[in-house]
Every structure is written in C-alpha cells, then in structure tokens.
Chain A
C-alpha cells in the first residue's frame, strides 16, 4: 500500500473519529451541553488527534528506519568475497541491486524465472524495460534483488496493518476516555501548544543548521589558509593559487572586499537616509489622509521590486547615464569628452541600492514617528510651536533611538545585498577611494567563487563559506544592536 493511500486512510479514520467523538459527547450531555466540561467539538478533536498522531508517528519512524534495516539485511546476505571489498564498491553493488529490484517489478513472472536460469541476459532484458544497468549483474545480485523486493513488500504490508491498527486503537482509547468531567479542551489546547512549539523550533534549528554547515566549510578553509591572512590580507587574488602554488599567502585578503562592501553601503545610506527620512516625516506629519493612502503604498511598491530588477536598472540605465553625463561634463570643462565615471562603479551601485533602501528607511521610520504619542505633538503645538519646530525639537529627539535602530537594520540589508552589486559594482577587488571607479563586495565574490567548475575541496571554493560566515556575523551584530536600541526606546513611554 502506498504511503499516500495510507495517509488518506489515517485521515479518514481521524475525521470519522471526530464525528463519533462529538456525537458521543452530545449523547452524554443529553441535550444539556453545560453538563460537559468542554464543547462537543473538543471531544471530537481529542479523538481525531489520538487516532491520527500516533499512527503518523509510527509511519514516519518506519519510513526512516525500514530502508536502513532492509539494507543491512541484504548486505548481510552478500557472499564473503563481496563483503571483503571496500565500502564504496559495496555501496555501488547495493545501488545496482536496488535498480535490478526495480526492474524485477516490471517483469512478468516467467521473464524473471528465465533470468534466474540465465543471468547473462539480465542487463539486456532490464535495459529494454527502461532500467539501465552499469554492468552485467553477478548471480548473487539477482537473488539479493529478489530478497530486497520480498522484504520491501513485507515491510510495506506490515506497516499498513500496523498504522491502521494504531489509528483505530488510538481512536478507541480516546473514545473510551470521553466522559462529562473529562477535560478534552485542555488536552487539545496542549496538543496545539506542542504543534506551535515544534513549528518555531524548526525555524530556529534551521538557522543553527545553516550556521553549522557554513562553519564546518569555513573551518576547512581556515585549515588551508591561515585565518589572519584571510581577515587582514589586503590582496584578493584567489585564481593564481589554483595553479598548484603551494604558497597562497595573502591572496585571500578580506580587506578589499570589506572596504568595497562598506563603501557601497555608505553611498547607499547617503542616498536612502535623507530621502527616506524626509519621506517618512512628510507621510506621518504633513500628508493628509488622502495623500497618505495613495502615496504610502506607492512608496512601498519599491520594496516589492526584486533586487535583480534594480540590478538591470543600474546596468542598463543608471550606469550608462552616469558615464555619458560625466563625458559631457568633462567635455564642457576641459574640451576632452572622456567620461570620468565608469558604467560599473561604486556610485552606480550605491545610488541604485540607495533607491532600493528608501522604502525600508521610510516605512520603518514612519512607524516609529507615528508611535510618538499624540499628546507630545499637542503639547508642543499648544505652546505655539510650528509644525517643523515640533518635529525638530520634540518628535525627532523622542523617536531618534528608534530611527537609529531602523537605520542599522537598513544598513545590514545594504551589507548583505547581492544582485545589485553583482550587476553594477564590478568584480575588481581593489582598495581605492574614488567613487567613480568600480569596486567589489563580499557578496559579489561569494557568487563568483561558487559559480563555475570548481571542486568543493579547494580553498577557491571554500573561501565563499568563510566570506559568508563573516557577512553573517556582521549583519547579525548590526541587527542585534539595532534590536537592542529599538527595545530600549520602547521602554521610554509607559
């Protein structure tokens, strides 16, 4: 019986359990619902939970455990000379047995018997059924495949019976527990609570898993390249080390990438902070409800644009525009029409990233400014302050810690942003201060190092994980600091 059919059966048992449970509760109440501890639906849910949860748990455990058990049983039946071979070869053999077993299911009984008499034809016959084999199977493989099929079928049958029995038994147990004084509601709520906890722990565990996997790869990178050379090296030039050079010192320097990241992020914040902040002040303090209801969603549409689209925009429109206008400018001043802004530059990437960040700054600041109590505004206006005096002297000072927190969160987005810089910032890892020249960022280099034909054991590839974890730590610190500030700010009123 297939797993999905089995799940369906369990679900049906659950639904029936729910109906029977509610009906039973209703019958016990005898028309006087107040004599029950919980509403009938809770009794039904209780029965449904008992009939479904244990059965599904058994199903899950079986699905994970049975292939392991069957695998070791089949391998145990291998001839001794095969057992003596290395583990990798045995794995290959076992995979082949699996393929043969799949093929057997497609054959009629006669065809299979014929194969057992003459194993040499096996590859050809199975191939004609769409199951390709890497080599002619050894005779023991045919028997093993047959065993495998038999055990799998037996396991599946046994599982089906077990699950259905578990579902029915669970349901019956819960049904018997139903009594007017039985606290079904509390039990059901308990199960809900466990479900919610499981969901949140999955989210947290995933983060831990991501960090762990990055950390292990990064550690193997640091085994090949000393950490201090990575963190304090000023040259980024990984490709030449791949030529078999034993000495790769100074070629994985993080500093130029970090400098580019911070520089581009700085330019982006230079664009985003004033524009976003002023937009937020206008939206929260000046705009009439009409304007606000139209303008605010429009502004937030910016946040919904995929960053790759901003990348196009930078590459196709902003970059060439800046290049051409710089050529015109220098032509006007010096007579020599040479552009001094390159199409891919810190300015291009920073400017477009700044535009991307405007809605983050404005909507976060807007929330914070709106959260300043109306009483403070009234108090200031009532003393004869103008609106802008009120904003400058009362509202912004009160909202400042929150706004700083919002800006830090935005900065951590700027540091982690990838697609815009991949397209607009360039790939040259250089340390320089001219915003009109290309620079590169940590994220660009991660993309570069992980695309292409590289083996996953070389430092050229593994450095991406070291970069990734560095970036992660930077943004994590920024976010934690931002949260700390925002939380401190919240305590101010009340």
Chain B
C-alpha cells in the first residue's frame, strides 16, 4: 500500500518534471575571486521539485556556482559575481533584494556537519526564531517536531531534545543540519557535498532523505560521488575548469553523454 503510494508520488513528480518549470535561472554567471576568475558565463537552470546534481573534478567551480544561488559568496572577501540569477521572478543580485530573506528562501547544508553548540531543539528552532515564524511556544515545538520528522531524525532524538547537538553521531548531525534548514521552510535547499564526511550507512540515510525531500523542495546538490549523483538526482550538470560542460537528464548523462569530457570524467579518465 505504502509502496504503491510512493510509486504514485514518483510518477506524479516525473509528470510535473515533464512540464518543466524552472525554479532558479542562472544566466551568464561569472564569479571572480580577486583577479582570479572561477566561473565562465554559466547558463544553468534549476527545475522545480527536482534534484539537480553538480559534478566535476575538484576546483571546477561547482561549489562556487552552488554558493552563488543563495549569495553565500558574499561572505568571502574579494568575491565578485556578474550575470543574472533569478529565483522565480526575482533577480537575487538586485541591490533591492534582502539577502537575509533570500537565504531564508534558499537554505543550505554544508559539507561538514556544523550543528551549533546548542541543544538539538535550539538548533532546529534557530531559524524559525530569527525569522519569527512561530507565534507561540507550541507553534515552535510543532515546527521543530515536523522538521525533525522530515529529516528522519525525530524517532532517534525525541527523548533528548535538550541535549547538545554536537553530541550526535556524524550522520545524525548532518540530518540535524538538514532539519535546521527545513525548519525555515525554504523553497530551495542547496547541499554542498553533504555526505563527504559520513560513513556509508549514514550516507544511505541522507540520500534516502534527499529523495523524500524532493516532494516539497527543489534541491541542488554538489557531489564528488558519481554513484551518488546517479542515485539521487534527476538532472545532472557537469563542470570543468569553471565552465558548464553539459547539463542533461541524469539517466542520459550516465549512459550516453553529449560531451566527450563528461564521458571521460564519468569513466574515471580524469578528475
């Protein structure tokens, strides 16, 4: 029964994907760190309720592109972004846009689990508190519980919400960070190699989670693992030396890529 409904959801999502609605549109995006150019006129569109994987060898600019999507590059000294990126219809680099609001709409999960040195509850409640999403304590409790459930962590931590978030295992910490991001109810979640610091079992859990989150969120994930990209994503973009080499359906990308460089990278000939 459950299986059936999941398959139904899957089908519905795939149908929606065929309609193609773009959540974020990047046009001629270039990034400079001081004098060094890190991205060359990247044109990449992110589809709604889709997992888009960014792959490519180290230093190819995939993380840089990811961080332009919620302007996390702003925190780096000497970083400059040109081009145009829109979220729905808003230009996110428009000076009129509030970067704080943007980051509430485009959440981020980092490479290394980085829970705050606070209790599990406070970690999840952090975002809702600063954005004033909860009107009462009960409201906040509900948001925390819902977010932890979405992150698949509720059953493991419901009895110790007041204990430190840093005391959890690595995999649990990363799911806590995902819960923290989900709690703000973002529209897009960016994930920067979320599993690179985790063991295979924790990785499997996080991948499963990404799969489920797709129903409610648009996800962009940077990964070094080709298998992971193939497992979790529907669209894949391949970066090389700051250029977007190819963007395609994941299935096609891993069976019959258009570009020779993608073929080489996937076959392990470089990178």
Asked if B114 and A389 sit within 8 Å, CB to CB, the answer is no
Instruction: Give A363-398 interface residues, CB cut-off 8 Å to B.
Output: 373, 375-386, 389, 393-394, 397-398
Contacts of A389 in B (CB 8 A): 130
Asked if B72 and A397 sit within 8 Å, CB to CB, the answer is no
Whether, in the assembled complex, B5 has its beta carbon less than 8 Å from a beta carbon of chain A, the answer is: no
| Distance, CA A384 to CA B104, complexed state (A) | 5
Contacts of A394 in B (CB 8 A): 116, 126
Asked if B116 and A398 sit within 8 Å, CB to CB, the answer is yes
B184 contact from A384, A386, A398, Cβ within 8 A? A384
Secondary structure of the A side of the interface? helix
Most buried by B among A378, A379, A382, A492: A382
Asked if A384 and B103 sit within 8 Å, CB to CB, the answer is yes
Whether, in the assembled complex, A289 has its beta carbon less than 8 Å from a beta carbon of chain B, the answer is: yes
Whether, in the assembled complex, A334 has its beta carbon less than 8 Å from a beta carbon of chain B, the answer is: no
| Chain A to chain B contacts (Cβ below 8 Å), 6 pairs | A379-B110, A379-B177, A380-B116, A382-B72, A383-B130, A393-B126
B112 contact from A288, A375, A383, A384, Cβ within 8 A? A375
Asked if B104 and A383 sit within 8 Å, CB to CB, the answer is yes
Whether, in the assembled complex, B11 has its beta carbon less than 8 Å from a beta carbon of chain A, the answer is: no
Contacts of B116 in A (CB 8 A): 376, 379-380, 394, 398
Number of A-B contacts (CB under 8 A): 70
Q: What is A's interface to B at a CB cutoff of 8 Å?
A: 288-289, 373, 375-386, 389, 393-394, 397-398, 492
Question: What is the CB-to-nearest-CB distance from A402 to chain B, in angstroms, rounded to a whole number?
Answer: 12
B117 contact from A377, A384, A398, Cβ within 8 A? A398
Contacts of B114 in A (CB 8 A): 373, 375-376, 378-379
Question: What is the CB-to-nearest-CB distance from B48 to chain A, in angstroms, rounded to a whole number?
Answer: 20
Q: What is B's interface to A at a CB cutoff of 8 Å?
A: 70, 72, 75, 77, 100-104, 107-108, 110, 112, 114-118, 126-127, 130-131, 166, 177, 180-181, 184
Contacts of A382 in B (CB 8 A): 70, 72, 103, 107-108, 110, 181
Closest A residue by C-beta to B166:
A492
Closest B residue by C-beta to A381:
B75
Most buried by B among A378, A379, A380, A398: A379
Asked if A385 and B110 sit within 8 Å, CB to CB, the answer is no
B72 contact from A289, A378, A398, Cβ within 8 A? A378
Known contacts being A373-B114, A378-B114, is A289 close to B101, with CB within 8 Å? no
| Distance, CA A394 to CA B130, complexed state (A) | 12
Contacts of A378 in B (CB 8 A): 72, 75, 108, 110, 114
Contacts of B131 in A (CB 8 A): 384
Contacts of A385 in B (CB 8 A): 100, 126-127, 130
Known contacts being A376-B114, A398-B117, is A381 close to B126, with CB within 8 Å? no
Asked if B117 and A397 sit within 8 Å, CB to CB, the answer is yes
| Distance, CA A375 to CA B116, complexed state (A) | 9
| Distance, CA A378 to CA B63, complexed state (A) | 14
